[in-house]
Amino acid sequence: MCKSLRISLGQHVFREELELWPLFDKHFSAEEQNRIVGRIIGITGAEILQSMLPWVTSALTLEEENCMMDTWKQATKNTMFSEWLNGWWRGTPTSSLQAVAEASHAVPKGTECQESVSDNDQMFKPGWKDIFRMNQNELEAEIRKVSQDPTLDPRRKAYLIQNLMTSRWIAAQQKSPQVSTKELTDDEDIPGCSPSFRDSDKQIFGCEHYKRNCKLLATCCNKLFTCRFCHDKVSDHSMERKASTQMLCMSCLHVQPIGQTCKTPACNGLIMAKYFCGVCKLFDDERTIYHCPFCNLCRVGKGLGIDFFHCMGCNFCLGMKLIDHKCREKSLETNCPICCDFLFTSTEPLRALRCGHFMHSACFQAYTCSHYTCPICSKSLGDMTVYFGMLDALLAAEELPEEYKDKQQDILCNDCAKKGKSRFHWVYHKCRFCGSYNTRVIKSETK
């Protein structure tokens, strides 16, 4: 059965490449292909990508591999996909770090790209040192050279220019020594080296924010905290959770490299938490959490393709029921218009408005008790046909004073964005194009 399944799968993949891929390339533009690819990988979880990418790339040539990754990066250009990829797939030919090395072939002719690397620069790729030493004028000259090269495909040209522009920053990041915590012979010397409890009566480790069996060693101040929220509450700076490399097991009080289990023999593989993310350095023992490779952070939910998908345009994980929402580029990298909480990192459920804006679901319920327009663009939040019909009946039964009957006002409709005239009224002005009362007066009354 396994052999039969393998043969059938192999034939399917072969026919897909032979017949479907040429049709896909023929009938869809590059922009449409990027949207389709973005939709497909937007429902693929980080764990699946981590296991799938090495398997797929092992069967491709270097050119095919680079072409595939170019397509993926173009489809995910508004996201943090490249940052997530570099976080766990270092040293592979398709990572964006290699792209910088590839872009380094555009350096002046006198530069040797395959120079030997000194002992202190073992982390550098061939050619990186030349990019790192280039001044601003030389860097701009190389960017102009790539920009004016007629042999390059436009997408390839944009890709190389982007990597040249970020090369010095990436090289500087790689050049800077990694923050490492020396192993202390006395773990008690570290501030905070004591257990904290979520429930002291039941002796459950954790804090008010998370249930976990460990503390994180903050690289910024070399102190132990149960979570970043506990750190930020008592510190004058924020903790970079992803930079942490050490943890304290609150059972044996031993500082060790971060991992899901304790490495000391005394704990015998004690699990720090049911959920562990090596990218975000997040431990949680209570909620269902997944890591999104495009947001590059952990979110509450079952996972991509299950109850969430990642919209490459909005650059956010949305519920599957919002798959046909009105997309706005990076529309969630802003604050909630009601409570001013940053939406991108918020853990509260969100509500998509008809106009394409977002707010928290709880904020939406409270706001719509007294308002029916978007607080950002002033468009109607829903179908207002019934309400506008009630206003029609109200105005039909209302008698205006004689001096106002023939007067009109210039109005702008917030729903259809058209200007027009409406009969005079102190409160309600109907748009003659779409019938909406969501309007505003833009000119004083005229005869």
pLDDT in tens, 124-144: 333 444 555 566 777 777 888
For the entire predicted model, the pTM comes to 0.67
CA distances to 42, 251, 285, 292, 446 from 207, in Å: 33, 15, 12, 25, 66
For residues 75 and 41, give the distance between their C-alpha atoms in angstroms, rounded to a whole number. 9
For residue 102, give the H/E element and its range. helix 96-103
Residue appearing with tokens 């570290």:
190
pLDDT tens digit string along 392-436?
999 999 888 888 888 889 999 999 999 999 988 889 999 999 999
Count of alpha carbons within 13 Å of 72, Cβ hemisphere only? 21
CA–CA separation, 89 vs 237, rounded Å? Answer: 30
> Which residue type occupies 382?
G
Q: 429 is written with which tokens?
A: 């002005």
> What structural domains does the chain harbor?
29-77 (no CATH), 197-287 (no CATH), 328-382 (3.30.40.10), 395-441 (2.20.28.10)
The predicted pLDDT at position 124 comes to 33
CB contact at 8 A, 40 and 310: no
**Residue 183: band (very low, low, confident or very high) from pLDDT cuts 50, 70, 90:** very low
Q: What letters, b where the CB count within 10 A reaches 16 and e where it falls short, cover 424-442?
A: bbeeebbbeebebbbbeee
Give percent of the chain above pLDDT 70.
83
**Residues 212-230: tens digit of each pLDDT:** 999 999 988 889 999 988 9
Mean pLDDT of the chain: 81
The DSSP letter of residue 198 is E
For residue 103, the model assigns a pLDDT of 45
337 close to 329: Cβ distance less than 8 angstroms: no
CA 66 to chain centroid, in Å, comes to: 23
Q: Degrees (nearest 5) of the Cα angle 326, 330, 336?
A: 85
376 in Cβ contact with 336 (< 8 Å): no
Q: Look at residue 177 and tell me whether its pLDDT is greater than 60.
A: no
Tokens of 419: 């200007």
191 pLDDT more than 80: no
φ/ψ of 359, rounded to 5, equals -155, 170
